[in-house]
Structure 1
């Protein structure tokens, strides 16, 4: 196309665009949007018209000048999308409104193109119009998504803060109702606090995934390396995860349940139980943890005469023997040794220490010593 033809094409394009009544297009599009899209029903049509006019005007300017939007101009369209997100308009209705507005604008553009006897120029203008709409709609979508993400993050941070304050007892009483509503909790319900930590074979994300389906609210704290949840009952047995469950308490007293849940979780981890421990469930195990000096004395009493691999073998033997209620055959099967081998080890223990697992007091002494070694990570 020579320069004269290009100049004529630009002139015809300018005539078509100048003939457009943006006020009428914006008013017609606003009325349709408010009438047909539920998310806009409560919006004022005049305000929507003004906002659509502010969108249409630069589109026509881009087409008249034959250029694309600058980064700053695209940012303005992104801000429009963010504004709709702030108004609570979802992405789908926003795109539908953009489509309806584009359709109204194109219909008006098409009528003006028909009045100009230049099919090629009209075709190019229609192509440029839709290309411009595609690029600008992408900017609108990006702005909307970014603002929605910001709002979601802010809302999550707010929920996290409320739940943390509930658990620590730092939430003022007058905010309990607000916190309950925000977190989806019931003020009349008492909740158990569940406490769990990641371990060698489980990340904090894995712990969170395991607990989330069974909790009414969940708080994952990578900084303190723990996950805390609220439940209305015990965890299902299929949740094979070391954890602690505190007693049921009202929202105003969750701190009490948290303290018990932490202690129970400590028990579950220390004794490699692989399940959720409820408050008051293992008083003897709790005594082992609470009285380490006593445990160390009993370890010396029971296993001080051995060391190294021999000691490890003896500890495992005693543990299996007590777990089998001093049934040598069952204990031997659990250890994959011959029953006579197991009996020999027990007789050797009795000869060296004077302790007989068949006597209740001696069995408790041995059990306590084994548990102390387990809790201290020295059980072999």
Structure 2
């Protein structure tokens, strides 16, 4: 009881209002983050922090749950006001320093020096508790703001890509997304390869594009580029033609088509719109591919088909150079020529003839795209 009374006597002269007012004035005067704040209002806000801290010291107790929530709300308020964590903590340290100086002035003249030292030590312990609470509130609100901002950016980007934003909204969208209203951009479109997910694909593309929209539900990653991205992006991605913001949906259509081509044919690079028209035709005409597949390889199955298709593909890829194709396949050139000759005998197709070579190429691409057996 005596100690409680002594605590009360020690702290009853603490100039809480003066400490809060002087701290607020110093912040407005010296801290850029607080330059546009009203000093009187800021002083009242600081006083709401100082007073419950003093109350806990007078009563010799830790902070209550209600007080902790109040401090968290104070941290959240600073986040809402756009004050970053570092200048916020600097302001907290400045206020705590002034409060301690005032407490020290009272303590050194107090009769019970042992109690004065104890209260001074408890003061810094309370400061630690308060700082933990205000930082927690600040970070929570900042995380909420970032999430809301990201959701807004995601929505605007999706609306831009789909052509759902009116012309009147384009300047606002460009400003929020950091885009140039007068510039043209290319839409990039990627569907994850088998065994990879959307987020993994998004990480791979992150360094190549201005902004990305990863959509696990739609199993795709869509982004924007100011210039054609490097071909060696490491994943299949389609790139649409450059278009102004109001016409990005046109670029999206072309990027999706090119992305489907890149994925179907295992091209782990950027594929431009219209770059591979024959591959696009193969995808668009699967019934033709099935007929040609039967025409070329209907007579073989299993390992014999795999060997034959690999041989013909290597030969066409080498521009009908038997030696080069044989080197790729690790076989003797005569072995390769024998396979070509038996293929011609079985099907009547001669790769020396352009039309027959095109027939085989189409069948091979169809097999690659759809995996028919």
Shorter-normalised TM-score: what interval?
A: over 0.9
More divergent stretch after superposition (40-49 vs 69-78) = 69-78
Q: Does 1:151 align with 2:116?
A: no
Q: Is the 8 A contact 1:22 1:56 kept in 2?
A: yes
1:374 paired residue number: 368
TM-score of the superposition, structure 1-length normalised? 0.96
Q: Does 1:355 align with 2:349?
A: yes
Question: How far apart are the structure 2 equivalents of 1:233 and 1:53?
Answer: 54
Q: Does 1:265 align with 2:259?
A: yes
Question: How far apart are the structure 2 equivalents of 1:54 and 1:376?
Answer: 69
* 5+ long unaligned stretches in structure 1: 1-6
Q: Does 1:280 align with 2:268?
A: no
1:3 paired residue number: none
Q: Is the 8 A contact 1:26 1:49 kept in 2?
A: yes
Q: Does 1:331 align with 2:325?
A: yes
2:200 paired residue number: 206
Question: How far apart are the structure 2 equivalents of 1:156 and 1:48?
Answer: 30
Question: How far apart are the structure 2 equivalents of 1:360 and 1:290?
Answer: 22
- Greater than 4 Å deviation, 4+ residue runs: none
Q: Which of 165, 169, 180 is 2:159 aligned to?
A: 165
2:315 paired residue number: 321
Q: Does 1:105 align with 2:120?
A: no
1:12 paired residue number: 6
Q: Does 1:254 align with 2:248?
A: yes
1:224 paired residue number: 218
Question: How far apart are the structure 2 equivalents of 1:305 and 1:127?
Answer: 91
How many residues get paired? 373
Q: Which of 339, 342, 359 is 1:345 aligned to?
A: 339
Q: Is the 8 A contact 1:241 1:275 kept in 2?
A: yes
Question: How far apart are the structure 2 equivalents of 1:293 and 1:239?
Answer: 32
Give the 3-state SS of the residue equivalent to 1:191 in structure 2.
Answer: strand
Cα deviations by residue, 1:7-33 (Å, 9 ceiling, x for unpaired) = 433322211111112111111111112
More divergent stretch after superposition (93-102 vs 161-170) = 93-102
Give the 3-state SS of the residue equivalent to 2:105 in structure 1.
Answer: helix
Q: Which of 90, 93, 115 is 2:109 aligned to?
A: 115
TM-score of the superposition, structure 2-length normalised? 0.97
Cα deviations by residue, 1:50-96 (Å, 9 ceiling, x for unpaired) = 11111111111111111111222201100000001101111111111
1:93 paired residue number: 87
Alignment of structure 1 residues 269-308 onto 2, 5 Å: 269-308=263-302
Q: Is the 8 A contact 1:245 1:260 kept in 2?
A: yes
Question: How far apart are 1:237 and its partner, in Å?
Answer: 3.0
Question: How far apart are 1:343 and its partner, in Å?
Answer: 0.8
Q: Which of 28, 31, 35 is 1:34 aligned to?
A: 28
Alignment of structure 1 residues 44-193 onto 2, 5 Å: 44-193=38-187
Question: How far apart are the structure 2 equivalents of 1:232 and 1:102?
Answer: 49
Question: How far apart are the structure 1 equivalents of 2:174 and 2:348?
Answer: 60
Q: CA RMSD in A?
A: 1.2
Cα deviations by residue, 1:107-139 (Å, 9 ceiling, x for unpaired) = 111111122122101100100111011101100
Question: How far apart are the structure 2 equivalents of 1:304 and 1:224?
Answer: 37
Question: How far apart are the structure 1 equivalents of 2:201 and 2:134?
Answer: 38
* 5+ long unaligned stretches in structure 2: none
